[in-house]
Chain A
Amino acid sequence: MKSSYREALRAGIRDAMIRDERVFLMGEDVGAYGGSFAVSLGLLEEFGPERIRDTPLSESGFVGAGIGAALGGMRPIVEIMTVNFSLLALDQIVNNAASLLHMSGGQFNVPIVIRMTTGAGRQLGAQHSHSLEGWFAHIPGLRILAPATLADARGMVWPALQDPDPVLIFEHGSLYNVTGELDDDAGPVDIDTAAVRRPGADITLITYGGTLPAVLDAAGQLAAEGIDAEVLDLRTLRPLDEASILASVRRTHRAVVVDEGWRSGSISAEISARITENAFYDLDAPVGRVCSAEVPIPYSKHMELAALPSVDRIITASRQAVSAGG
């Protein structure tokens, strides 16, 4: 069936609401407004205001309340409008959700799911456009998901709710309108492993979330030049599926990491480090990286585009890796 990424997310949430009465959705404008990005459109009518719960503009308050509700036996899905706003709730996410289990000696787990929009590309300026999922992937105790495909948008919510510990789901804003075919029987997916989206022999392009379409596009163009690129979609940023990353790099001997986050201290830095720590002697070239320019993302279209990873930059970095070394 034809579906948008947005509709696939909604189907996943709806499925979870039907499967388990303890599941409820709460956040700013998830109900009467239909969701800031229309993900929850129609769910209020189906499930009512108790389970599709509009909140005031109180990110720390309602994220913390979600954590408390999870401690109290519910299975909340908390929606934060964008990752930039999640900074108002960092205390609750890091000091409570991620820490309670370890700090309490294993007594209190927090089965909460927090969804939020991430990323740039829509001329929204610096305070709505950042990609901070790599930051969250720094935190022990959290699981970080980045669905890049319709199947993952449809299928990640339920397994995230089954996880006894906090799960953050990052939805890239440029993906909501992506449409395509979704299997009629699409359902829960695994949330542990990376996926090879395009097999290849010459180089591994490692990415996740909103940059997957650009990477696939670049791989297609590289094929025309005789460069056979493998595209690895991380899907889960924490815990990283290191085995899949290393297995691919050991086959292709070259890697470029594509990440819309800033380069310094980023998830791309972590991946690059793990490759050099574990597969250094399998490499034929230094690990390359394509990241966002280290600036607050600007509004004007040409400047915003200049700041973000592009198909051209991915192709250039890939050519460099292939021509370098042995």
Chain B
Amino acid sequence: MTGPLEPPPRALDPAHGRHLLLQMLRVRRLEEKCVELYSAAKIRGFLHVYIGEEAVAAGVLESLEPEDAILATYREHGHALLRGVPAGAILAEMYGHVEGCCRGRGGSMHLFDAATRFYGGNAIVAGGLPLAVGMALADKMSGRSRATVCFFGEGAVAEGEFHESLNLAALWQLPVLFCCENNLYAMGTALGRSESQTDMALKAASYEIAAWAVDGMDVLAVEDAARRAVEAVRAGGGPHFLELRTYRFRAHSMFDPERYRDKAEVAQWLERDPITLLRATMEAAGQLSAQEWDQLQAEADAEVSAAVEFAEAGTLEPVEDLTRFVYSERSAP
């Protein structure tokens, strides 16, 4: 089973459409603010923003339940936010403040949150895939019907851990959903320059894994595919794989002069901005008034403003705590 899915039924519930728009806007506004704060030297280290790819996280996370687990990459602010990690805790983390979701120890690339089962935030490309396999193994051995969802870029497909993880997951029929965020570039290396087989879904299917390619700029298509995949995973249908075809509008990080791609190519993809696309669809169907659109924007803006305020008011972890949590301070449950 591979290749494109049939398009979802387009009878969109307007309230749900507005919800998805808001989710994508929340990520967009948070990321825009991150860039601004980075330029103002409030955030340091490496910063990778998700602008352009919002439909992927918004669509996939929409299909999950609280008991499911998520693993993501170093471009994970949006996933954390949409999973329910408060924007303030995310920004405070990037400020290096103890009020951050990891006490300021992780930073932009290492957001974790036990309460929402958000397992990072992994800055080693493909490093999260084996973990996802193991978490799914634990669920299967414990007889729990829940899904582990693992996000990674198409760059991870060239790593050995991709091969090892997909093989294990298929061999043991584990409840894991692999979400390949194919934004066409591994930093500056175009897909065709790093993979002999550029069809990610086809590659995954060769492991006997149900794999579908999805338009990652169409949040409705992403949500539909993710719902079907997660349902199958939870029902014991073994691992599933989504190739989510998307594009990174901004540079790889704040240190990327973008020598490797044409401005024309970027401009072409900007026309497929996932927020603009859904907004246009809904407006054409009379499902979104100008006032409603303004409200959504205002809501996203307000959340980000409050988050900045929270992060600004944050404090530094006492230096005496430096060596805490190298080892556990409690017995394992």
Contact of A103 among B110, B136, B171, B330 (CB under 8 A): B110
List B contacts of A76 (CB < 8 A). 134
| Residue A274 lies at the interface, judged by CB distance under 8 Å to chain B | no
A39 on interface, CB distance cutoff 8 Å: no
Say whether B130 contacts A64, CB under 8 Å.
Answer: yes
Distance to closest chain A CB from B96 (angstroms)? 12
The 8 A CB mask of B247-286 against A (1 = contact, 0 = none) is: 0000000000000000000000000000000000000000
B139 at the interface (CB under 8 A from A): yes
Given contacts A66-B134, A68-B135, contact A105 B325 (CB under 8 A): yes
Min CB distance A132 to B, Å, is 20
For A, the interface residue count at a CB cutoff of 8 angstroms equals: 43
Q: Which residues of B contact A24 (CB under 8 A)?
A: 141
Contact B130 A107 (CB under 8 A): no
Chain A CB within 8 A of B216 CB: no
Q: Are A164 and B332 in contact (CB under 8 A)?
A: yes
Query: Which residues of A56-112 have CB atoms within 8 Å of chain B's CB atoms?
Result: 56, 58, 60-74, 76, 91-92, 95-96, 100-109, 111
| A60 x B160 contact (CB < 8 A) | yes
Q: Which residues of B contact A74 (CB under 8 A)?
A: 137-138, 141-142
Other-chain residue from B131, B171, B324, B327 in contact with A96 (beta carbon distance below 8 A): B131
The answer to whether A92 and B102 touch (CB under 8 A), given A55-B168, A108-B112, is no
Q: Are A102 and B325 in contact (CB-based, < 8 A)?
A: yes
Tell whether, in the assembled complex, residue A64 and residue B329 are in contact, meaning their CB atoms are under 8 Å apart: no
B114 in contact (CB, < 8 A): yes
Residue in contact with A64 in the complex, picked from B113, B120, B129, CB distance below 8 Å: B129
- The closest CB in chain A to the CB of B102 belongs to A105
Task: Kindly state whether residue A162 has any CB partner on chain B within 8 Å.
Answer: yes
Name B2-42 residues within 8 Å CB distance of A.
Answer: none
Min C-beta distance of B73 to chain A, whole Å:
13
User: 8 Å CB contacts to A: which residues of B88-143?
Assistant: 100-106, 110, 112-114, 119-122, 124, 127, 129-139, 141-142
**Contact with B171, one of A56, A67, A95, A101 (Cβ below 8 angstroms):** A56
User: With A91-B124, A164-B328 in contact, do A103 and B130 touch (Cβ < 8 Å)?
Assistant: no
Q: Is the interface on chain B under 10, 10 to 19, 20 to 34, or 35 or more residues?
A: 35 or more
Checking A63, A70, A104, A111 against B112 with a beta-carbon cut-off of 8 angstroms, the contacting residue is: A104
Known contacts A61-B168, A64-B165, A67-B134: A165-B328 contact under CB 8 Å: yes
Instruction: Chain A residues near B121: list those with CB within 8 A.
Output: 103
Q: B161 near A: Cβ within 8 Å?
A: yes
A61 touches B161 (CB 8 A): yes
Inter-subunit contact B102/A107 (CB<8 Å): yes
Chain B: minimal CB distance from A51 (Å) = 8
Which of B69, B127, B130, B325 has the most CB atoms of chain A within a 10 A radius of its CB? B130
CB pair A62 B139 closer than 8 Å = no
B103 touches A68 (CB 8 A): no
Give Cα A92 to B167, complex, Å: 17
> Which positions 107-156 of chain A face chain B at CB distance < 8 Å?
107-109, 111, 140-141, 143
- A50→B120 CA distance, assembly (Å): 28
CB of B326 within 8 A of chain A? yes
B-contact 0/1 string along A36-64, CB 8 Å cutoff: 00000000000000100001101011111
With A68-B132, A68-B137, A164-B331: A105-B168 Cβ-Cβ less than 8 Å = no
Query: Are the CB atoms of A106 and B141 closer together than 8 Å?
Result: no
Contact A104 B110 (CB under 8 A): yes
Contacts of B100 in A (CB 8 A): 105
Are B167 and A61 in contact, CB atoms less than 8 angstroms apart? yes
Q: Contact between B102 and A67 (Cβ–Cβ < 8 Å)?
A: no
CA distance A33 to B161 in the complex (A): 25
Min CB gap A68→B, angstroms: 2
Of all chain B residues, the one with the shortest Cβ separation from A102 is: B325
- How far is B137's CA from A76's CA once the two chains are assembled, in angstroms? 11
Q: Is the Cβ of A162 less than 8 Å from the Cβ of B332? A: yes
Closest chain-B Cβ to A78's Cβ sits at a distance in Å of 10
Q: Which residues of A contact B164 (CB under 8 A)?
A: 56, 58, 60-62
Most buried by B among A56, A63, A67, A68: A68
| Contacting pair A105 B127 (CB below 8 A) | no
Tell me if A65 and B105 are in contact (CB < 8 A).
Answer: no
Q: Are A101 and B327 in contact (CB under 8 A)?
A: yes
Interface centre among A71, A108, A111, A164 (most CB of B within 10 A): A71
Given contacts A60-B164, A61-B167, A72 and B130 within 8 Å (CB-CB): no
Which residues of chain B have C-beta atoms less than 8 A from A106's C-beta?
103, 324-325, 329
Given contacts A74-B142, A103-B105, A104-B112, A56 and B332 within 8 Å (CB-CB): no
Write out the residue numbers on chain B whose beta carbons fall within 8 Å of the beta carbon of A67: 130-131, 134
Q: Which residues of A contact B101 (CB under 8 A)?
A: 105
Among B294-332, those with CB < 8 Å from A are 324-332
A71 touches B330 (CB 8 A): no
C-alpha gap A91/B122 in the complex (Å): 12
Instruction: Tell which of A63, A92, A102, A109 touches B332, judged by Cβ atoms closer than 8 Å.
Output: A109
A65 touches B332 (CB 8 A): no
Chain A hits for B106, CB < 8 A: 103-105
Which chain A positions have C-beta within 8 A of B131? 64-65, 67-68, 71, 92, 96
Can you list 14 contacts pairing A with B, beta carbon distance less than 8 Å?
A50-B141, A58-B167, A60-B164, A64-B130, A64-B133, A64-B165, A68-B132, A71-B138, A92-B130, A96-B127, A102-B326, A104-B102, A108-B119, A164-B331
Q: Which residues of B contact A (CB under 8 A)?
A: 69, 100-106, 110, 112-114, 119-122, 124, 127, 129-139, 141-142, 148, 160-161, 164-165, 167-168, 171, 324-332
Closest 4 A/B residue pairs (Cβ)? A68-B134, A64-B130, A72-B138, A61-B164
Given contacts A65-B133, A100-B120, 12 further A-B contacts (CB under 8 A): A58-B164, A60-B164, A65-B134, A65-B168, A70-B138, A74-B138, A95-B124, A105-B100, A107-B113, A143-B327, A162-B331, A164-B327
